[in-house]
Amino acid sequence: MGYLREDIHNLVEKQRSFFNTGITLDVKYRIEQLKKLKKMLKDNQDKIIEALHTDLGRSPMESYLVDIGDTIMEIDEYIKGVKKWNKPEKHFSGLACFPSIRTHVYKIPYGVTLIISPFNFPVMLSIGVVAASIAGGNTALIKCSSKSAATTSVLKELVSKTFNEEYLTVIDGGHDVADFCLEERVDKIFYTGSPKVAKHVMELASKNLTPVALELGGETGNWCIVRKDANLKDAARKIAFFKILNSGQICININQVAVASEVADEFIKELKLAITKQIGEKAYLNEEYPKMITERAWQTIVDEATQYKDRIIFGGEGDKATCKYSPTIIYPVDINEPIVQYEIFGPLLPVVKFDDDKVNDLLDVIASREHGLALYIFTKNKKWAKKVMRTQQYGGGCVNEVCLHIMVKGVPFNGVGHSGMGAYHGKWGFNEFTHPSTVLYGKTKMNLSLREHPYTNKKKKMMSKFLK
């Protein structure tokens, strides 16, 4: 039976009542719940892996690597750090506040949080965010994707067995149910998905002035730049791995590669070899190769590839019955063609040539478009690479590597502009799900009267000297 608007409202009210008891404010309670969350994942790995295979065709190793194992590591970080992060910050108020020189900053939970997760990493991008919400001392409604139905069903079952619904609950259903959730007066929304839907999320959130965190894909694509001095074999190997992973359905995946014209042919050769070595020339026939999430998503990739069929130099094959489509290299592609100006979210890889001595012109074009969630650079020129990574606008990225920046603990994962707002992972996730409240502790003796009327010339002179 599907959810009605009234059902969602009642769940929100139950969670609000539970939050108002103050139970979640206790850090020991939060740590206990995080440990239960971790145990839930560890004890049910096989069931979750099976569901991920049903939804995305993933191999057990890939499912553990990118969804389950990484989420467990994330939970461990919250268990280890939340006690320290939750301590009030102590500040000197400054002489201007004398004699009330003691100020504290408290980390206050928002209350009832709404987490809307996507299909592509249905465990990491739901339970991983839930862990941040728990660490912050909140309750959570988790609206999981209807596209990854098997995993959503398993998560709903496991969460309901592990936690009371007034604390954590998984909600399934389509866009109508998501809207029921968004129409409620929750206290914090965390949405992962597309920029288009994010605008809708923000529109509904604005009606209740609900604070929102967004983790989105790069609307005009995440760029990878391969310069002429790069280790081409190494670059090709890593790019191939990343494009194979989850069949390209990754928000931080490489959307298009810009390769120096001086080494373009050699790079293409290495890329073909790397894909073939890792997954086979006909990847869609490989049992370990993931599938597109739905037949509709598969058909979208087919239609996009068909538009560039005269420039497909590798791949370009698939099977509708299994919803698998091989990693496909499209070359050459002009930097102003449509396929490099939107997020593909699949195994197609357009390759753009540029003259290496005009790499700054390439960067200007990239900067003129919407900011990506990721940026990847392959080069031996560390000085240039550092300059680029310090001056471009993007969420996060790597130099001479791909995707591993999201595995680093203690650092934020975030987007900017059309690729998102806010940040999480570790302490940054705790901060995202709490709001800092500044409290000054006043003194009742030795209070100066300089701030009080009447403002005599003597007071003005004294205040001027004091502030200086």
The angle subtended at Cα 285 by Cα 284 and Cα 289, nearest 5°, is 55
* pLDDT tens digits along 55-78: 999 999 999 999 999 999 999 999
Return the amino acid letter for 232: L
Q: What is the pLDDT of residue 217?
A: 84
The angle subtended at Cα 270 by Cα 269 and Cα 275, nearest 5°, is 105
Cβ neighbours of residue 106 closer than 8 Å, sequence gap 6 or more: 88, 436, 437, 439
| DSSP 3-state of 377 | strand
For residue 315, the surrounding DSSP H or E stretch is none
Q: What is the pLDDT of residue 455?
A: 85
Catalytic amino acids? 215, 251
| DSSP 3-state of 148 | coil
Say which residue the tokens 């003796």 belong to: 445
> If 0-12 CB within 10 Å is exposed, 13-18 middle and 19+ buried, where does residue 106 land?
middle
Residues of the chain with CATH 3.40.309.10: 223-412
Q: What is the pLDDT of residue 450?
A: 77
The CATH number of domain 223-412 is 3.40.309.10: yes
How is 60-119 classified by DSSP, letter by letter?
Answer: HHHHIIIIIHHHHHHHHHHHHHHHHHTSPEEEE--GGGTT--EEEEEEEE-SEEEEE--S
Report, as ranges of residue numbers, the positions in the chain whose pLDDT lies below 50: none
> How far apart (Å, rounded) are the C-alpha atoms in residues 311 and 315?
11
> How far apart (Å, rounded) are the C-alpha atoms in residues 37 and 41?
7
> How far apart (Å, rounded) are the C-alpha atoms in residues 216 and 442?
44
Q: What is the pLDDT of residue 1?
A: 56
Q: What is the pLDDT of residue 5?
A: 95
Q: What is the pLDDT of residue 451?
A: 79
Q: What is the pLDDT of residue 20?
A: 98
Residues of the chain with CATH 3.40.605.10: 5-216+433-437
In the numeric block, which tokens belong to residue 38?
């971790």
Place domain 5-216+433-437 in its CATH homologous superfamily: Aldehyde Dehydrogenase; Chain A, domain 1 (3.40.605.10)
> If 0-12 CB within 10 Å is exposed, 13-18 middle and 19+ buried, where does residue 24 land?
buried
Residue 207 neighbours by CB distance under 10 Å: 10
